[in-house]
């Protein structure tokens, strides 16, 4: 996997300078076609298709073709980079991860949202629909790179049946990680079930743990990597201890999700986006609670989900793209929040049972991390995710492992 990643990265480094040399394409007759790439599967993919279908029913002159590409945001981005490097016409719309916005801004030349707008007045009205702090999380150096479309907060799902079997009640649902450890011991002893799992497909859950403990992952000027911060080490050590004490299973991320839904894990920390999937597939009483904190420390939760970005160089498609984004920031958002994702808009959206927990956490939300270093940032992300997984599933010394990782990553920034 690492070799494949580096090959794609090297190819992009060599070739992306000439990708957009062709300039504007001529307008075509018939409906304007917009390709929308995403990483979602199952219900989320079906709901996105519903958004596209409703939009097309109201805009018959525009055809939106959705396409699922890759399992994670990094895989989605890598595929697009490979197409760019090969000179393949790029997709008009992409739902990218929040943690790649700096890279997209500096290395991939997106079309800024205000450039798509038909007028300054239309752009102001559009931007005014969003909560200002949430619209701003898709801004890089003053440029509005995309719009928040899939907005997610990390929450803790729990199996009420397992809690009852362990003699626990709703008052025992953990509010802090010390509570988690206490409850985990009871669940393990009385039921033999695993107590908890934490999503680890990317670096998102890590941010929520580390930031809520007061730790950092980059320096304040965002120019260097910082993993040796004591609070960062402490948060990662806690995660490792959950596995070492047998409270959390050693599984792939996909297996973790499936095991929780099958009723084998009592608590599962993951995105609110999975709300409908979890509640519809579980044969037990699945409840939602806020993400645990560290004692009395204020929680700081990283924004998750998808950012809608455009890369087209065909200005004849600007109007169609704007109209789709305009729909997505209104009726389309209300449709898409059926998945569990929450709305970043000021206007009230339908709230499903469980989503109120994520909305309650909006005051704790902060921007997703964006590693420094341009192209090197993707390698830093790759190194971090792999080392993190080695730490939580192994017996390595957390302090030494993070110090070495910090040094390795900072060498890429020289």
Summarize pLDDT for 308-364 with one digit per residue, the tens: 999 998 999 999 999 999 999 999 999 999 999 999 999 998 999 999 999 999 989
Of 349 and 60, more confident:
60
In this structure, the number of other CB atoms found within 10 A of the CB of residue 91 comes to 22
Pairing of strands 93-97, 154-159: unpaired
Beta bridge pairs of residue 62: 32
C-beta separation of 210 from 217 below 8 A: yes
159: nearest Cα among 33, 281, 27: 281
Q: What is the pLDDT of residue 78?
A: 87
- 204-141-320 Cα angle (round to 5): 85
C-beta separation of 84 from 19 below 8 A: yes
pLDDT tens string 273-304: 999 999 999 999 999 999 999 999 999 999 99
Pairwise CA distance, residues 114 & 104, whole Å: 17
Pairwise CA distance, residues 139 & 147, whole Å: 9
Tokens of 289: 């609670």
- Domains, in order of start, for the chain: 2-152+305-351 (3.40.190.10), 154-302+373-411 (3.40.190.10)
Mean pLDDT, the chain, rounded, equals 92
Q: What is the pLDDT of residue 166?
A: 98
Q: What is the pLDDT of residue 345?
A: 96
pLDDT tens string 224-249: 999 999 999 999 999 999 999 999 99
217: nearest Cα among 6, 410, 378, 379: 410
- Alpha-carbon distances, residue 346 vs 29, 126, 130, 150 (angstroms): 38, 11, 5, 15
Tokens of 315: 């200005």
Q: Is the dihedral of CA 117, 123, 125, 130 positive or negative?
A: positive
Q: What is the CA radius of gyration of the chain?
A: 22
Q: What is the pLDDT of residue 376?
A: 95
337: nearest Cα among 152, 71, 95: 152
Share of the chain above pLDDT 70, in %: 93
Tokens of 305: 């989900």
């Amino acid at each position: 996997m690492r070799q494949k990643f580096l090959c794609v990265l090297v190819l992009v480094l060599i070739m992306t300078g000439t990708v957009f040399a062709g300039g504007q394409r001529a307008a075509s007759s018939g409906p304007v076609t917009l390709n929308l790439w995403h990483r979602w599967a199952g219900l989320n993919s079906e709901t996105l298709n519903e958004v596209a279908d409703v939009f097309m029913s109201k805009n018959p002159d525009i055809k939106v073709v959705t396409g699922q590409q890759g399992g994670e945001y990094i895989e989605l981005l890598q595929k697009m980079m490979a197409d760019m490097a090969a000179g393949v016409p790029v997709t008009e719309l992409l739902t990218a991860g929040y943690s790649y916005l700096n890279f997209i801004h500096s290395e991939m030349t997106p079309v800024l949202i205000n450039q798509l707008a038909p007028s300054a007045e239309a752009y102001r009205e559009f931007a005014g629909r969003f909560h200002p702090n949430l619209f701003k999380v898709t801004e890089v150096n003053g440029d509005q790179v995309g719009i928040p479309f899939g907005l997610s907060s990390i929450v803790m799902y729990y199996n009420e049946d397992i809690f009852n079997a362990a003699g626990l009640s709703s008052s025992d649902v953990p509010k802090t990680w010390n509570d988690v450890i206490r409850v985990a011991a009871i669940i393990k002893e009385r039921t033999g079930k695993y107590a908890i799992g934490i999503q680890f497909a990317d670096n998102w859950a890590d941010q929520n743990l580390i930031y809520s403990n007061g730790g950092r992952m980059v320096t304040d000027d965002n120019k260097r990597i910082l993993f040796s911060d004591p609070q960062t080490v402490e948060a990662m050590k806690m995660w490792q201890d959950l596995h070492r004490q047998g409270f959390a299973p050693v599984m792939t991320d996909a297996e973790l999700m499936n095991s929780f839904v099958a009723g084998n894990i009592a608590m599962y920390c993951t995105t609110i986006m999975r709300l409908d999937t979890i509640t519809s597939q579980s044969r037990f009483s699945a409840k939602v609670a806020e993400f645990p904190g560290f004692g009395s420390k204020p929680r700081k939760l990283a924004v998750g989900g998808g950012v809608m970005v455009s890369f087209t160089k065909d200005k004849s498609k600007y109007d169609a793209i704007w109209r789709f984004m305009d729909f997505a920031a209104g009726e389309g958002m209300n449709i898409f929040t059926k998945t569990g994702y929450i709305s970043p808009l000021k206007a009230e959206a339908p709230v499903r049972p469980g989503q109120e927990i994520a909305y309650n956490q909006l005051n704790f939300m902060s921007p997703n991390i964006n590693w420094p270093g341009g192209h090197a940032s993707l390698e830093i992300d790759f190194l971090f995710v792999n080392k993190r997984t080695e730490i939580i599933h192994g017996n390595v010394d957390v302090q030494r492992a993070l110090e070495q990782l910090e040094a390795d990553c900072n060498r890429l920034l020289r």
